[in-house]
């Protein structure tokens, strides 16, 4: 007699085959989604690194902006010493191997605060005419003349000493509502407080602290190494004698890009000019970006 339909065994076999196929498709799909997310996170963090570097270049490149000649000196600040640095006669200083987790960079820059006219400056020529220079930090045009109601600091064009703002041959800078040049002192440093859980063990947040502000600004997370060196045109060092020889600072960072990976890879183990890196074994599960570049300084010579 001819059999109709399918047996229970055949049905079970079909169900097993379908289940295995579905499982394979599910795991393949999950792996694809996971890889897509990982690549997306990696790309996002690569972009974040470039945004960070653009911000650091702008801030550090403006070191000495609006600073009178008597403060154009290299200091030796202590770790976590922003208050003392702000009241010193220094425009730049390094604190090395701090308990916070690495080097600390200190400097003065009247454009470092996000005030309305930060980055603007004016020149009063020998005839008393005022010309606008620079651009606001928002990239908008500056006012045609120093804004009324804002505190100003004025420097003699030739000597860079403090001058009367109505005198000819004068550089004019705004301090907004601030009254002290020490309020524009900056400290870049590492901290492991409130570190995102995606960060590799042994990494830090890079913070920017401006003197007088209650809270430091987070600049980047998952930073393993932050070091700074002076460049005099020939060599790199953690000290420099004459500030007139200072041409640039070398910024050295090791930054995590993306989350934890499924495979291991060896992180970079040293900088060209900032020394070797002590590798945490856990770092092999993460991807890293090694940053080492010179940031030129144009405002710090006497």
Per-residue pLDDT of the chain (302 residues; tens, 9 = 90+): 455 556 766 666 666 676 666 666 655 555 544 544 444 444 456 667 787 888 888 899 999 999 999 999 999 999 999 999 999 999 999 999 998 888 999 999 999 998 889 989 999 999 999 998 888 878 788 999 999 899 999 999 999 999 999 999 999 999 999 999 999 999 999 999 999 888 999 999 999 999 999 899 988 889 999 999 999 999 999 999 889 999 999 999 999 988 888 899 999 999 999 999 999 999 999 999 999 999 999 888 77
Query: Is 12 part of a structural domain of the chain?
Result: no
Report the pLDDT value the prediction gives residue 271, as an integer from 0 to 100.
95
CA–CA separation, 9 vs 1, rounded Å? 20
* Residue 33 pLDDT: 46
Q: Which domain holds residue 66?
A: 45-110+182-296
Identify whether residues 103 and 222 lie together within a single domain: yes
Helix, strand and coil percent figures for the chain, each rounded to 5: 25, 30, 45
Helix (H) or strand (E) holding 288: strand 288-296
Same domain, 141 and 207: no
CB atoms within 10 A of CB 189: 24
Tell me if 292 is assigned to some domain. yes
Please tell me the distance from the alpha carbon of residue 75 to that of residue 86, in angstroms, as a whole number: 11
Q: What phi, psi does 12 have (nearest 5°)?
A: -65, -40
**Pseudo-torsion of CA 240, 245, 246, 252, nearest 10°?**
-60
Supply the pLDDT for residue 22: 64
pLDDT on residue 10: 63
Residue 27 lies in a domain: no
pLDDT of residue 36: 47
Q: How far apart are CA 61 and CA 109, in angstroms?
A: 9
The partner residues of 231 in beta bridges, in order of sequence, read: 236, 248
Residue 164 shares a structural domain with residue 186 = no
Same domain, 205 and 260: yes
pLDDT of residue 8: 66
Task: Specify whether 258 is located in the same domain as 235.
Answer: yes
- What DSSP character marks residue 82? H
Based on the structure, what is the number of domains in the chain? 2
For residues 157 and 288, membership in a common domain is answered with no
**260, 131: one domain:** no
Q: Is 3 contained in some domain? A: no
Q: Within this chain, do residues 106 and 86 fall inside the same structural domain, yes or no?
A: yes
Token pair for residue 245?
Answer: 């020889």
Q: In this structure, is residue 188 part of a structural domain? A: yes
What are the structure tokens assigned to 5, written together? 């339909």
For residue 298, which of 32, 60, 134 has the smallest C-alpha distance? 60
Q: Do residues 262 and 205 share a domain? A: yes
**144 and 49 inside one domain:** no
Judge if 98 and 230 occupy the same domain.
yes
């Amino acid at each position: 007699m001819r059999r109709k339909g399918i047996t229970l065994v055949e049905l079970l076999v079909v169900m097993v085959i379908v289940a295995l196929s579905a499982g394979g498709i599910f795991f393949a799909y999950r792996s694809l989604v996971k890889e897509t997310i990982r690549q997306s996170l990696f790309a996002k963090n690569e972009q974040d690194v470039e945004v960070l570097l653009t911000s650091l270049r702008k801030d550090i490149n403006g070191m000495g902006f609006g600073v009178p000649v008597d403060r154009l000196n290299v200091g030796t600040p202590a770790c976590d010493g922003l208050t003392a640095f702000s009241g010193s006669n220094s425009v730049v200083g390094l604190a090395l191997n701090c308990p916070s987790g690495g080097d600390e960079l200190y400097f003065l820059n009247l454009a470092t605060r996000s005030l309305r006219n930060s980055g603007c400056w004016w020149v009063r020529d020998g005839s008393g005419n005022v010309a606008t220079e620079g651009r606001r930090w928002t990239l908008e045009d500056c006012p045609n003349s120093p804004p009324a109601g804002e505190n100003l600091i004025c420097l003699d064009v030739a000597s860079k000493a403090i001058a009367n703002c109505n005198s000819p041959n004068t550089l004019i800078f705004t301090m907004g509502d601030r009254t002290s040049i020490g309020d524009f002192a900056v400290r870049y440093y590492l901290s492991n407080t409130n570190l995102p859980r995606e960060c590799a063990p042994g990494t830090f947040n890079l913070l920017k602290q401006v003197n007088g502000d209650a809270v430091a600004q987070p600049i980047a997370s998952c930073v393993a190494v932050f070091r700074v060196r002076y460049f005099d045109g020939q060599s790199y060092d953690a000290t420099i004698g004459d500030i007139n020889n200072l041409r640039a600072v070398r910024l050295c960072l090791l930054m995590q890009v993306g989350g934890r990976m499924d495979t291991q890879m060896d992180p970079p183990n040293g900088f060209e000019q900032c020394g070797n890196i002590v590798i945490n074994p856990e770092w092999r599960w993460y991807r890293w970006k090694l940053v080492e570049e010179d940031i030129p300084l144009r405002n710090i010579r006497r």
